[in-house]
Amino acid sequence: MPISDETVVTSRDQRPATLGELTESGWRGSPVKEEIRRNAAARIAEGRPLVEGVLGYSETVLPDLERAILAGHDLIFLGERGQAKTRIMRSLIGLLDPWVPVVAGSEINDDPYAPVSTFAREVVAEKGDATPIDWRPRDRRYTEKLATPDTSIADLIGEVDPIKVAEGRYLADESTLHFGLVPRANRGIFAINELPDLSERIQVGLLNVLEERDIQVRGYTVRLPLDIVLVASANPEDYTNRGRIITPLKDRFGSQVRTHYPRSPEDELEVVHQEALKLDIDGLEASVPDFLADVIAGLTHLGRKSPNLNQRSGLSVRMTIANYELLQACAARRALRLDASEACARPSDLPSLLGATAGKVEIEALDESREGEVLERLLRSAVLATWKQRVPQDRMRAVIAEFDGGESFEVGDDLPDSSYTKRLTAMPELRSVALEIAGRESAAYVASAAEFVLEGLHLSKRLNKETRSRNESAYRA
């Protein structure tokens, strides 16, 4: 069993402190790609996912990831914004061994058995079995860089340190180098977010890293056989011959893994319930009924199919999460203002989502002047589609009949739940349907469900809706 096993190196006192002790312990290292492959194979054999907390990818993205890792490839994740690319890359840390030994003081995690830097080679040559050893945990073997146009070769690869030159060292001496992020990720994972955003001349600097595994600084070659796994992310729009990626770099990645948005509203909501912040203020927990959660998931999915929205920029799951959190905030705000004991979102809160939604989508040029109209139409469509699925249509005739005598039903985001409860006592059919949809006796949930039923009848052109103020409306026959 390798010394890096959790059970062996839990205590610092149990880890070898010198090269001689490491040799006696029987520790045997392996290239980082083999290390990751070995740990991935163990997870696959046990039926465990390679990546925890990523939903909706079990039949698409994760099998592609498993194949790429077993093949020992450097890989790139292609997908629009908000598709968990960064989360997956960071989760690869879990496929590294818990600890690995390095030459103490090494900047690039030198393997004590096969040091590659001048510093580590000199220390091992001088001290032999007495060479001091440090142990690196897996989280310190992952390095991440967001690609930006101003990223330099010095940032990624390294640069000559003028202070070291001034100390009397030769310019061509490797010891004059200040290592960049890539060499410092030796024996680990180096991740680049939005790879095409690197300028072309910087992309060229990565070619040797991916193929020959050496680096070049200031016109002379520094032979560093780096042991590294390179992973990157990119938007598919940029990762083409017409985009901002150079073909030789694209050719050097062994695998590309295509991510996607949740395929169904159900998958979308599973992500939302995992990621959305719970709003709990002074013991008042704000809630969003299932039927309204379906509406906001439906809004996102309709947006992804709409010709009025720019699909190249994508509609992230973050939009659904943000809208869900805003509905919680609407419910909490109403409960606080009305001193209510329960906070539950209502359909009359939905228009407050339009401003946040507008900030996360791009309207096509021809429709820019009608941004509000486009989003309102999508929201109404999402409400109506959910209403048809959630509400028993065979009972709507009886509900409409309760309005035939000239009755009306007032709703609003600033009306207390008691106002709804009082009105529902005179409309038993509407109350019965609302109770069924709410799934509980809670006055706040029943009020929300009743309003949902009425809004659907209005959108299906079976009830009129009269807007009395910005915050109040009334439904009538």
**pLDDT tens digits, 410-422:** 998 889 999 999 9
Pair (178, 283) in one structural domain:
no
Three-state DSSP state, 477: coil
Q: What is the mean pLDDT of residues 416-440?
A: 93
pLDDT (tens digit, 9 = 90+) per residue, 1-32? 344 444 444 455 588 999 999 999 999 989 99
Pair (136, 250) in one structural domain:
yes
Tell me what pLDDT residue 224 has. 78
Residue 1 lies in a domain: no
Pair (253, 147) in one structural domain:
yes
**Domain at 145, CATH number:** 3.40.50.300
Residue 210 lies in a domain: yes
Q: Which domain holds residue 270?
A: 261-390
The confidence band for 204, taking pLDDT boundaries of 50, 70 and 90, is confident
The pair of structure tokens assigned to 211 is 């193929």
Tell me what pLDDT residue 5 has. 43
CA distance 317 to 295: 14
**Model pTM?**
0.84
The confidence band for 470, taking pLDDT boundaries of 50, 70 and 90, is confident
Residues 6 or more apart from 4 whose CB is under 8 A from it? Answer: 27, 97, 98, 99, 100
Pair (350, 379) in one structural domain:
yes
Pair (222, 321) in one structural domain:
no
pLDDT of 167 above 90: no
Tell me what pLDDT residue 280 has. 84
DSSP per-residue string spanning 14-68: GS--BHHHHHHHT-----HHHHHHHHHHHHHHHT--SSSS--S-TTTHHHHHHHH
Burial (CB count within 10 angstroms: exposed 0-12, middle 13-18, buried 19+), residue 465: middle
CA distance 186 to 224: 10
Number of domains in the chain: 3
Residue 169 lies in a domain: yes
Q: What is the mean pLDDT of residues 302-306?
A: 90
pLDDT (tens digit, 9 = 90+) per residue, 317-336? 999 999 999 999 999 999 99
State which of 8-12, 246-250, 430-434 shows the largest mean pLDDT: 430-434
Task: Mark which of 337, 363, 390 sits at the end of a domain.
Answer: 390
CA distance 473 to 477: 14
Long-range CB contacts (< 8 A, 24+ apart) of 429-437?
A: 429/395, 429/398, 429/399, 429/401, 429/402, 430/399, 430/402, 430/454, 432/395, 433/391, 433/392, 433/395, 433/399, 436/392, 437/291, 437/390, 437/391
Task: Mark which of 390, 414, 431 sits at the end of a domain.
Answer: 390
Q: What does the mean pLDDT of the chain come to?
A: 88
Pair (10, 59) in one structural domain:
yes
Residue 110 lies in a domain: yes
Tell me what pLDDT residue 283 has. 80
The confidence band for 165, taking pLDDT boundaries of 50, 70 and 90, is low
pLDDT (tens digit, 9 = 90+) per residue, 26-55? 999 899 999 999 999 999 999 999 998 899
Q: What is the mean pLDDT of residues 116-124?
A: 90
Angle between helices 265-275 and 317-338 (to 10 degrees): 60
Residue 293 lies in a domain: yes
Of all residues in the chain, the percent with pLDDT exceeding 70 is: 90
- By residue count, the chain amounts to 477
pLDDT of 188 above 50: yes
Pair (268, 397) in one structural domain:
no
Pair (157, 231) in one structural domain:
yes
Pair (75, 199) in one structural domain:
yes
Looking at 9-23, 73-87, 283-297, which range is the least confident one? Answer: 9-23
Task: Mark which of 372, 390, 408 sits at the end of a domain.
Answer: 390
DSSP per-residue string spanning 75-119: EEEE--TTSSHHHHHHHGGGGS-SEEEEETT-TT--BTTB--SHH
Residue 325 lies in a domain: yes
Q: How many CB atoms lie within 10 A of CB 450?
A: 28
Pair (10, 84) in one structural domain:
yes
The confidence band for 192, taking pLDDT boundaries of 50, 70 and 90, is very high
Residue 348 lies in a domain: yes
Pair (167, 313) in one structural domain:
no
Residue 186 lies in a domain: yes
Helices (H) and strands (E) in the chain, counts: 21, 17
- Which strands form 255-258's sheet, in the order they lie side by side? 142-146, 188-193, 228-234, 75-78, 255-258
Pair (93, 242) in one structural domain:
yes
Tell me what pLDDT residue 83 has. 92
Three-state DSSP state, 300: helix
Q: Does residue 88 contact residue 51 with C-beta atoms inside 8 Å?
A: yes
